[in-house]
Amino acid sequence: MPDGHRSLDLFEIALILAIALIVIGPERLPEVMRTVGKVLRELRLASNTVLHELTDVLDEPPAKAPPTAPKSEPPAVQPPAAVPTEKT
């Protein structure tokens, strides 16, 4: 498969269920399968939520930057004013 995902075929699913039946036992197998189903459902919902939030953020147009004040020339240096001195 070109996208890298691989699904289980019928034989693999039957093999996993047979091993689970042997390890867990027939009494607890339905309870364990319900728990696994709930966990997988919660993981799928969480991953879909994250995927939708990321898609929304990436699809938003970039926010405009606030306008900046144009750079002004530094004030010209003026010669010091003549300081009157008292002649005595």
Helix (H) or strand (E) holding 21: helix 10-24
Residues 6 or more apart whose Cβ sits within 8 Å of residue 16: 8
Q: What's residue 39's pLDDT?
A: 96
Per-residue confidence at 1, pLDDT binned at 50, 70, 90? Answer: very low
Distance CA 1, CA 8 (A): 13
Task: With a cut of 70, say whether residue 21 has pLDDT above it.
Answer: yes
Distance CA 40, CA 42 (A): 5
Distance CA 26, CA 37 (A): 17
Residue 10 or 88, more confident: 10
Q: What's residue 7's pLDDT?
A: 83
pTM to 2 decimals?
0.50
Q: What's residue 5's pLDDT?
A: 73
pLDDT, tens only, 25-71: 989 989 998 999 999 999 999 999 999 999 988 887 777 766 676 66
CA 45 → CA 4, 22, 31, 33, 50, distances in Å? Answer: 22, 31, 21, 18, 9
